[in-house]
């Protein structure tokens, strides 16, 4: 378009100037001035069109960039929706499996999971994935069915810790307290006592928490829990 206007200017000049001469009429100063003004106006229009064309090109580039960013966001949302769908399927499958197990237990039928280690592994898998409600159901069922299992103290600890991770400090305290009462030889004993103190702290009972922290320091001086207990009872430590 700009090239076409330029050609028109040249054509205009070529036609008008000879006409002025060959017609026998000498162009006046005013006519020459008007002709130059017309040419300058045309040049200005060409410049403006070139600028508008550059602006339009820039805007088109920005539109392309925005479309690319939008496409990336849509692809990301599709990926997230797919992941969410898979997680929902996993939860549904896990819940269905547990409901089948509980139904079989209530009806007296032989459960699908027949060994203590299988049920323990399933419940621990829920615990490790942060599915604490499912873990609580699984570990509690395990404790009821296999109270004499060598994994019983482990199950009791993770049952209590599932409540703790849900910030249900009262239930967690009740379950943690069963470990020193029933499983004196458990490897989880120092940790269970430390969590008991933390439950008291969560229940805003700092005096009770401090008593247990001091017991841990005395009874298990070389344990990691003793070092943590010392930090907790420092004047500037968390209570």
Domain-terminating residue out of 79, 95, 124: 79
Contacts of 5 (CB under 8 A, 6+ apart): 42, 45, 46, 49
Nearest to 5 by CA among 36, 43, 52: 43
Round the average pLDDT of the chain to a whole number and report it: 80
CA 168 – CA 177 distance, rounded (Å)? 14
pLDDT computed for residue 129 by the predictor: 95
Same domain, 49 and 138: no
159: domain CATH number is 1.25.40.10
Domain-terminating residue out of 27, 61, 79: 79
Same domain, 118 and 205: yes
The number of distinct structural domains making up the chain is 2
CA 157 – CA 183 distance, rounded (Å)? 10
Same domain, 124 and 227: yes
Is residue 99 in some structural domain? no
Give me the sign of the Cα torsion angle 161, 162, 167, 173.
negative
Is residue 192 in some structural domain? yes
**What is the per-residue pLDDT across 4-25, written as a single tens digit (0 to 9) for each?**
555 555 555 555 545 444 444 4
CA 226 – CA 193 distance, rounded (Å)? 10
Is residue 91 in some structural domain? no
Give the highest mean pLDDT range of 48-62, 63-77, 131-145. 131-145
Same domain, 224 and 131: yes
Domain hosting residue 8, numbered range: 2-79
Same domain, 117 and 75: no
How large is the average pLDDT for residues 184-212? 95
CA 95 – CA 87 distance, rounded (Å)? 12
pLDDT computed for residue 72 by the predictor: 80
CA 113 – CA 33 distance, rounded (Å)? 103
Same domain, 122 and 172: yes
Q: Which of 98-112, 157-171, 214-228 has the lowest mean pLDDT?
A: 98-112
**What is the per-residue pLDDT across 94-143, written as a single tens digit (0 to 9) for each?**
555 566 656 655 565 545 546 888 999 999 999 999 999 999 999 999 99
Is residue 107 in some structural domain? no
Is residue 238 in some structural domain? no
**What is the per-residue pLDDT across 173-192, written as a single tens digit (0 to 9) for each?**
999 999 999 998 899 999 99
Q: How many helices (H) and strands (E) does the chain have?
A: 10, 0
Domain-terminating residue out of 79, 95, 127: 79
pLDDT computed for residue 237 by the predictor: 53
Same domain, 137 and 201: yes
140: which 2 tokens?
């509690």
């Amino acid at each position: 378009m700009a090239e076409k206007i330029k050609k028109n200017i040249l054509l205009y000049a070529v036609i008008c100037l000879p006409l002025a001469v060959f017609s026998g009429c000498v162009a006046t100063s005013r006519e020459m001035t008007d002709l130059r003004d017309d040419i300058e106006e045309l040049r200005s229009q060409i410049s403006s069109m070139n600028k508008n064309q550059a602006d339009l090109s820039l805007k088109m580039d920005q539109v392309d960039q925005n479309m690319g960013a939008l496409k990336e966001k849509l692809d990301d949302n599709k990926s997230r929706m797919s992941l969410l769908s898979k997680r929902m399927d996993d939860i549904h499958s896990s819940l269905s499996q547990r409901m089948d197990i509980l139904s079989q237990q209530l009806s007296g039928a032989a459960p699908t999971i027949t060994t203590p280690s299988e049920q323990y592994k399933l419940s621990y898998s829920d615990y490790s994935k942060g599915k604490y409600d499912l873990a609580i159901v699984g570990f509690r069922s395990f404790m009821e069915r296999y109270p004499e299992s060598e994994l019983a103290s482990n199950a009791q600890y993770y049952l209590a810790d599932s409540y703790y991770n849900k910030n249900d400090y009262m239930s967690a305290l009740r379950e943690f307290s069963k470990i020193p009462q029933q499983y004196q030889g458990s490897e989880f004993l120092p940790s269970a006592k430390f969590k008991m103190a933390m439950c008291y702290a969560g229940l805003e009972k700092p005096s009770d928490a401090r008593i247990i922290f001091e017991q841990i320091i005395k009874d298990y001086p070389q344990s990691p829990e003793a070092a943590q207990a010392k930090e907790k009872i420092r004047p500037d430590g968390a209570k």
